[in-house]
Amino acid sequence: MSGGWQAVDDYIAAKLLGDDDVLAATLVNNAARGLPPIDVSAAQGKMLCLLAQMAGAKRILEVGTLGGYSTIWLARALPEGGSLVTLELEAHHAAVARLNLENAGLADKVEIRTGPAADSLAAMAYGVPFDFVFIDADKQSNSLYVAEAIRLGCPGTTIIVDNVVREGGVIEAGSDDERIIGTRALFDMLAADPRLAATAVQTVGAKGWDGFVLARVI
């Protein structure tokens, strides 16, 4: 069945996205420099771009840069004068992302901060709020990242958290997988926090069976 998921994703991309030399070059560069192939799919990237545009995002926060593939999609959603801050643990990944963003002509809109995301977020003082947040980093810390997104956002801020279904593993209460434990803790937080309205959507496609959380700060 997974082969069918890939074929449908290919169909969607061919019909609705078309060829994109910049994004294709980004994936080639990521592979050539040894980055893991865990970027969002093209269809998911376009969805992020559209959601950011629908939210009227002028200031975007991304937790988990990797090689900048999703960063490019998000930065393309920004209006003139908009900005994006993206957080990446690995210095090598951040360096590759900078090259990709320069190639995409978006380096002037994006600031990459390197180091543990928890430390980078803690160092951010509340100022001009972020109005769109995409979280795709270590799953163990998702609850912390969402809490920081609320602190650094404002009523109306959109928060997307990727990889929350984990091939159905999210319902395994006895799992010893730290990523599943962290994801279940995220759902507990979302259910209990009155500052958020949230849902989650399962997805299948080029990235297998997974899903994402869509939340809004109230």
| pLDDT grade for 77, boundaries at 50, 70 and 90 | very high
State CA 75 to chain mean position distance. 12
Tokens standing for 56? 């009227």
| Alpha-carbon span 180 to 169, nearest angstrom | 6
At residue 3 the predicted structure's pLDDT band, cuts being 50, 70 and 90, is confident
The domain locations on the chain are 2-217
Q: How do residues 32-51 score in pLDDT, each as one tens digit?
A: 999 999 999 999 999 999 99
Tell me the whole-structure pTM to 2 decimals.
Answer: 0.97
| pLDDT > 70: percent of the chain | 99
Instruction: Give the CATH superfamily of 2-217.
Output: Vaccinia Virus protein VP39 (3.40.50.150)
For the purposes of burial, counting CB atoms within 10 Å of the CB of 24, is it exposed (0-12), middle (13-18) or buried (19 or more)? exposed
Rounded Cα gap, residues 88 and 8, in angstroms: 31
State what percent of residues in the chain have pLDDT above 90: 97
Q: What is the mean pLDDT of residues 104-129?
A: 97
For residue 1, what pLDDT band results from cuts at 50, 70 and 90?
low
Confidence grade of residue 207 (pLDDT, cut at 50, 70, 90): very high
- Residues 6 or more apart whose CB falls under 8 angstroms from that of 24 comprise none
8 A C-beta contact, residue 211 and residue 200: yes
Mean per-residue pLDDT of the chain: 97
